[in-house]
Amino acid sequence: MWEQIAANRRKSFVLVFVMALLLAALGWFGGEYFMGKGGGPTGVVIALVVWFFMTLTAWFQGDNVMLTVSGARKVEKKDLPILFNVVEEMTLAAGLPKMPAVYVIDDPAPNAFATGRRPETASVAVTSGLLKRLSRDELQGVIAHEMAHVRNRDIQLMLFAGVLAGAIVILAEIGLRGMWFGGGRSRSRRDSGQDGSGIIAIVAIVLMILAPILAQLIYLAVSRKREYLADASAAAFTRYPEGLASALEKISRAPDKLSRATSATAPMYIINPLKRSKKMAANATSTHPPIDERIRILRAMGSGSFAAYDRSYMKIKGAKKGVIPGSALTEDPIGPAAPVREKVSASQRENARQVDDFFYRQDGYHRIECPCGTVLKIPPDFHSQVAKCPRCGTVHKV
Amino acid sequence: MLPLLIILVLIVIVIAWVVGLYNGLVRLRNQVKEGWAQVDVQLKRRFDLIPNLMETVKGYMSHERETLEAVTKARAAISGSGGIPERMLAEGGLTAALGRLFAVSESYPDLKASTNFLSLQEELASTENKISFARQFYNETVMRMNNKVQMFPSNIIAGMFNFKAETFFEVEDEAEREAPKVDFS
């Protein structure tokens, strides 16, 4: 299974290389166009500087931004013991060196994501809606999927690819605006066509229009592939594909839309938080494969191994080639199957109660336990000195 | 001059290959050790949780002395066990005894209502899971190690530097068969 990481590195390298070439070409032709003949190298340097600073920012701020933007709050074991246990279990199954930090987001839409450049500094976040809807086995499947992203170093790859795509989009935008307002100096000074600047102008325009689209398509294609791989890994970690399959089914059926997700953070989630129609076919502009298909592949697996996922993928998609790197298939474990499954439906209610309590505490609510068994939650802006229990009528001091 | 250069390059390539294989083997051996340490941590954690559980359960389940004693005995057998195979057998015995205890606890509604018991039950169930997942990862690592040690050509290097095949952590069949599938719902 570890061979997969090596395969990922090679693929990420090719991808980053293609995108970097695109960026350099954009810089070169932009430079030639705006600064006249010989401006190419300067254009490349400008493009690289822009990219460098964006990468630097993303590298040091990426995790925090993702967690802040989504409104995630850190939890300790005493707040949500079941969630914590599940994360710990999956850390062991994935063989990660350190357990990721655990965050929850107060949002009724069920979803989850992982961030962190290195497995040592990773974090996983789940919404309260997810905790309230999923059983323990399903939660395990979702967390396993996120751990797979951490273990396969997908987050690093997506961060890198995302920044490259972003730099290309920004430069192309600036270039197009520049053309619109000022036009190239080379065109105004010399006759076009004489030294090939006409061709350069055409290439520059075409590049500025096509490069951002191309960059984003590459980015999205990679994102989709990562999802299949993370699903396969989740099945291999838990040895129980049905857990993730039924979790995905529940998540996709939930009506709520995640309120704080943006198109920039969408690829990070377990399912796309923005698009809700699950019937939609995968096309070049989706961050995730269609959820129906993911569920069908997981359900047709039979056993939880990479080889089973690959066979199932080819059967469902009617494809000749699988999605799992060949090296991972030969490394498939044959060892004894994992734990005895137990359906802990009680854990779902327990999780729901724990996550509610956590957010009430975070928001400064005061708890009063009435002798009749009712728990009164007093909001922080409650003005009166006393509160009456709505069930038995006992008056409590606040 | 040229043949000499070719020979030199070949020697360098062979050395690099041997160094790569050797380092890979060392890394794997360390991973196996680390994997076993993880299993051990979880086994210890379960061991430490049991007195707490007994204390909680005692008051409610006074009629189930045999079941309680079986757990205590199984726990004692672990500290008394010598080698790894014996230890694994003892751990399997504890798993089975705990399974019976939780199965019996189903018929004690008072116990099921105790928050202390519920959190202990969650802790122990999760620890059992952690043992299995850590074992699963350990076994995968052992398999990769053994493949390297036994397959050509890496077995030459492994033999030269005395790397040995490791043993899988398999649960004894007997204990596994005894363990009841418990429905905690």
Look at residues B133, B110, B125 and name the one whose alpha carbon lies nearest to residue B181. Answer: B125
Question: Can you give the three-state secondary structure of chain B, one letter per residue?
Answer: CHHHHHHHHHHHHHHHHHHHHHHHHHHHHHHHHHHHHHHHHHHHHHHHHHHHHHHHHHCCCCCCHHHHHHHHHHHHHHHHCCCHHHHHHHHHHHHHHHHHHHHHHCCCHHHHHCHHHHHHHHHHHHHHHHHHHHHHHHHHHHHHHHHHHHCCCHHHHHHHCCCCCCCCCCCCHHHHHHCCCCCCC
| 8 A C-beta contact, residue A29 and residue A40 | yes
> How would you label A112-121 residue by residue, b for 16+ Cβ within 10 Å and e otherwise?
bbbbbbebee
Closest A-chain CA to B120: A81
Residues linked to residue A74 through DSSP beta bridges, in sequence order: A103
Task: Give Cα separations from B96 to B76, B103, B173 (angstroms).
Answer: 14, 11, 12
Q: How far is A102 from chain B (nearest CA, A)?
A: 17
Cβ B126–A344 below 8 Å, yes or no?
no
Cβ A347–B118 below 8 Å, yes or no?
no
Can you tell me the distance from the alpha carbon of A329 to that of A59, in angstroms, rounded to the nearest whole number? 32
The pTM score is 0.79
Cβ B136–A2 below 8 Å, yes or no?
no
> Across A203-217, B12-26, B145-159, which has the greatest mean pLDDT?
B12-26
Nearest residue, CB atoms, A92 vs list B119, B125, B137:
B137
Q: With contacts defined as CB-CB under 8 Å, which chain B residues touch A345?
A: 185
Domain residues of chain B, as ranges? 13-178
ipTM over 0.95: no
Q: With contacts defined as CB-CB under 8 Å, which chain B residues touch A237?
A: 133
Can you tell me the distance from the alpha carbon of A248 to that of A299, in angstroms, rounded to the nearest whole number? 11
φ, ψ for residue A104 (rounded to 5)?
-125, 150
Q: Is A227 exposed, middle or buried (0-12, 13-18, 19+ CB in 10 A)?
A: buried
Look at residues A315, A322, A303, A317 and name the one whose alpha carbon lies nearest to residue A241. Answer: A303
Can you tell me the distance from the alpha carbon of B27 to that of B52, in angstroms, rounded to the nearest whole number? 39
Token readout for A84 is 């914590």
pLDDT for B113 equals 80
Q: How far is A396 from chain B (nearest CA, A)?
A: 25
Residues linked to residue A375 through DSSP beta bridges, in sequence order: A369
Can you tell me the distance from the alpha carbon of B107 to that of B93, in angstroms, rounded to the nearest whole number? 23
Q: With contacts defined as CB-CB under 8 Å, which chain A residues touch B181?
A: 340-342
Per-residue pLDDT of chain A (398 residues; tens, 9 = 90+): 455 556 666 766 777 788 888 888 888 888 887 777 777 888 888 888 888 888 888 777 766 777 887 788 899 888 888 899 999 999 999 888 889 999 999 888 888 988 887 888 889 999 998 998 888 889 999 999 999 988 888 887 777 788 888 888 888 888 888 777 765 554 444 444 455 667 777 888 888 888 888 888 888 877 888 888 889 888 888 888 888 998 998 888 877 667 666 666 676 777 777 654 444 445 556 677 778 888 888 888 877 777 788 888 888 777 767 677 655 555 555 444 444 454 445 667 777 778 888 888 888 888 787 877 777 788 888 877 788 887 787 787 77
The domain B13-178 belongs to what CATH superfamily?
A: LemA-like domain (1.20.1440.20)
The three-point CA angle B129-B133-B135 to 5° equals 115
Cβ A338–B132 below 8 Å, yes or no?
yes
Cβ B132–A88 below 8 Å, yes or no?
no
- Pairing status of strand A101-105 against strand A123-127: parallel
Can you tell me the distance from the alpha carbon of B82 to that of B90, in angstroms, rounded to the nearest whole number? 10
Active site residues of A: 146
DSSP string, A376-391: EEE-TT---SEEE-TT
Element spanning A2, H or E: none
Can you tell me the distance from the alpha carbon of A354 to that of A386, in angstroms, rounded to the nearest whole number? 26
Cβ B125–A90 below 8 Å, yes or no?
no
B45–A contact, CB cutoff 8 A: no
Task: Indicate the SS3 state at residue A125.
Answer: strand
> How do residues B64-73 score in pLDDT, each as one tens digit?
888 888 888 8
Residues 67-126 on B with a CB inside 8 Å of A are 118-119, 122-123, 125-126
Cβ A237–B179 below 8 Å, yes or no?
no
Domain residues of chain A, as ranges? 1-363, 364-398
Can you tell me the distance from the alpha carbon of A335 to that of A254, in angstroms, rounded to the nearest whole number? 37
pLDDT for A88 equals 93
Look at residues B10, B125, B49 and name the one whose alpha carbon lies nearest to residue A81. Answer: B125
Chain A interface test: which of B102, B118, B140, B178 (most A C-beta within 10 Å): B140
φ, ψ for residue B181 (rounded to 5)?
-80, 110
Closest B-chain CA to A333: B140
pLDDT for A284 equals 57
